Each structure stands twice: as structure tokens, then as C-alpha cells.
Structure 1
Amino acid sequence: MQLDVKEIFTAFMVLFAVIDIVGNVPIVIDLRKKAGHIQSEKASIIAGIIMIVFLFVGQNILSLIGIGVNSFAVAGAFILFFIALEMILGITLYKEDESSAMTASVFPLAFPLIAGPGSLTTLLSLRAEFKLENIIVAVILNVIIIYIVLKTSTKIERLIGQNGINIIRKVFGVVLLAIAVKLFAHNIKALLL
């Protein structure tokens, strides 16, 4: 096992931008108001488990249906591109159904808000480029950050304010857009050769 700090940091930043937990603070606060209480530990752990399990079995599922990692990575680049556009332009291209207060910690918080189509696609895209152990460390670091943000979401909103959250979303949106372009360019070459 060989850990690479650069790979861990890059994978961490990509996942952090895709999950956009800071940008989702208003959604978390809204869920907390509806549900009365959100189990931060449960939501973080379930999201982490979903991501790590998908990291191991996602590729097998793809090969079972005859899709290569490079094809999935290109599809992932498109998803990241649209998530980035949502973040930068402040528009909603995809809207989740409202959930009941009973299951708010698991659905929609752990899945699909944290471990959603964007983050799962990103994990397989990262797997095409980085070592597995580095991605796992990046996922664990993100789960820790997610837990901290969920625990302190009301304080973060008071501290940063709505404008601060919007600025952070837009900055990470631009970073995500650049990552989507790089991912697309890297994997489309592999598909065309």
C-alpha cells in the first residue's frame, strides 16, 4: 500500500467540490427544521459506506452490463459539468422529491445529497486515474468534514452568512468545471484510441 499525498488531496478536493456539503448547509438546515433532528453520525457513516462499497463494486456492476470505466468517466465528466453549472449559475437542473421527517438522516441526506449520482460517478472516474487506497483516504476525510459540517450547520450559516455560502458554491463550481473538462479530455482520449 502506497499513499500519495498529492493523489489524496486531489481526490479529496474533487469529492469535496462534488458533495458540496458547505453549499448544502441551507438544505441541511431546512431538513433539520422539517425533521426536528438530524442524526449527523448516522448520515455521515451511511454516506461513507455507500461511497466505499460503490468504489469496490461499481466497476464490477459496470463490467456486468458491458460499460468500461473510461466510458463511465466521460459520463461522469458530463454530470460534474452540469453540477458545476448549477453551482456557478445558481440554477437547479435536477430536483429531488421531498422526504418524510422520519428518514431525513438517510434519505435524502446520506443518499442522494451526500452520496448521490455525482459523487458515485466521481468515485469511479477517480478510480480510472488514482490508486484505490488514496481514494478511500479521500472519502474518509470527506466523511469527517461532512460530519463536522452537519454537526455545526447552524453555526456555519450564522458565521458565513448566505452570501458567503453562495460565494463558496461559485468558487467550487468553477473548480469542478475545470475538473470535469480535465476528466473528459483524459478519458475521451482513451476511448478514441
Structure 2
Amino acid sequence: MNTRELINSIIMLFVVLDPFTVVPFYIPTANLLPKEKRKKFLNTLILAAVFMLLAFTIIGDYIFKILGVTFNDFRVAAGLILLVYAISSLFDIEIGAPKNNIEDIEKEAIVPLATPLLAGPGSISTVLYIRYSYGYPIAIITIFINIVLAYLILYAGQYILKYLGEHGALLVDKFMSLILAGFAISIIRASIMSII
């Protein structure tokens, strides 16, 4: 296993998952629950996100074969999706934000918090790209390391929001969006060069 590839994959997925931007949605929803149910709520959120990412990592390859999608086709598509995701974040275009009127709070752990906010199109595209580029072991390790990091960040969400403040959280979000845009362009460039 190539350590550099693993580190690059972990960073790439972390940037796309961006659990810091999920914190402002997670905390108000979790606070509507009794304290004894908040841990279960977070566990449900994390398990749902893991399921989504692993499912696409494992069966996504077979689906693409059935549809006749090539590796370079997928890389271009993934790069474009990531670029759109980065631009939407930079320009504050909300994707899958939770509704203000919550009828069933516990279901919010799955939709929209686990998906599409945490394990959304960008994250799914990234794990599939990592799977194609580096193989199953690196993809699966990358998913679990990032999910652990996401769990810790969401668990400590109250303290993070208090420490960073509104402007600090916004700065982190924009910085990560710029990095994500760079990753997206590099993926598209490499794919086009391979096609040529």
C-alpha cells in the first residue's frame, strides 16, 4: 500500500466531506432531542453515511460496467461534480439544507444530515474516484478514517462553533472549497490528457 496515495486520498475525501459545514445543521437538530438520545442520533447519522459511501465503493464499479462507463468517463464526471460542489459552496448556494419545520427529528439523522450533507454526490464521487485510482483497500481505509474524524468533529460541534465563531467557521468552509476546486481541476486535467 502506497502511503502517499493513502494520505492524498484521506485529505481529498476530508475536504469533500467537510464535516465542519455539517456542524451548523447538526447542532440545532440534535438540540431538539433529549440529551440521552443525542448520542444515538449521532451514531445513526454516522452509520448511514458509512453505508452510503461503502455501498457505492463496492457496487459502484459493477454498475458502471453494466452501463458501459469507462474510467476516464467517470473521472471527468467526478471532476465536474466536485467542481460544481466547490463553486456552490464558495458562492453560498445551499444543497440539501435541513428544513426549519422538523416533523420527525430522528429521521433527520439520515436525510438530510447523513445524505446529502455529509455523504452527498461529491463524497460519493470522491470515494469512487479513489477506488478506481488506488483500489479497494485505500478507499475503505480512507472512508473509515474520515468517518471517525467526522464523528469527532460533530461530537465536539458545540465547542467548535463556540471557538471558531460565525466568521471563523465561514473562513474554514471557503478555504476548503478552494482546495476542493483545485482537486477537481486536477482530476479533469488528468482525465483529458489520458483521453488525448
* TM-score (norm: length of structure 1): 0.88
d(CA) in 2 for partners of 1:160, 1:96: 21
The answer to whether the aligner puts 1:30 opposite 2:28 as a matched pair is yes
d(CA) in 2 for partners of 1:170, 1:96: 17
The answer to whether the aligner puts 1:127 opposite 2:131 as a matched pair is yes
- Unpaired runs of at least 5, structure 2: none
Which digits, 9 at most, give the CA deviation of each residue in 1:56-78, with x for residues without a partner?
10011111122223212211111
Question: By percentage of residues, which structure has more helix?
Answer: 2
Displacement of 1:54 after TM fit?
1.1
CA contact (8 A) 2:96 2:117 kept: no
Question: Structure 1 93/159 Cα, relative in aligned 2: closer, same or farther at 3 Å?
Answer: closer
Matched length: 189
CA contact (8 A) 2:45 2:109 kept: yes
Q: CA RMSD in A?
A: 1.9
Match of 1:81 in 2: 83
Match of 2:153 in 1: 149
Displacement of 1:30 after TM fit?
3.0
d(CA) in 1 for partners of 2:135, 2:56: 15
Matched ranges for 1:43-82 at <5 A? 43-82=45-84
Matched ranges for 1:103-142 at <5 A? 103-142=107-146
Match of 2:95 in 1: 94
CA contact (8 A) 2:96 2:112 kept: no
Q: What's the secondary structure of 1:67's corresponding residue?
A: coil
d(CA) in 1 for partners of 2:21, 2:106: 24
Q: Which amino acid aligns with 2:95?
A: Y
Displacement of 1:130 after TM fit?
1.6
- Unpaired runs of at least 5, structure 1: none
* TM-score (norm: length of structure 2): 0.87
Identity between Structure 1 and Structure 2 (%)? 23
Which digits, 9 at most, give the CA deviation of each residue in 1:62-104, with x for residues without a partner?
1112222321221111111111112323x21634563641301
Q: Which amino acid aligns with 1:29?
A: I
Q: Which amino acid aligns with 1:83?
A: Y
Match of 1:178 in 2: 182
d(CA) in 1 for partners of 2:66, 2:183: 28
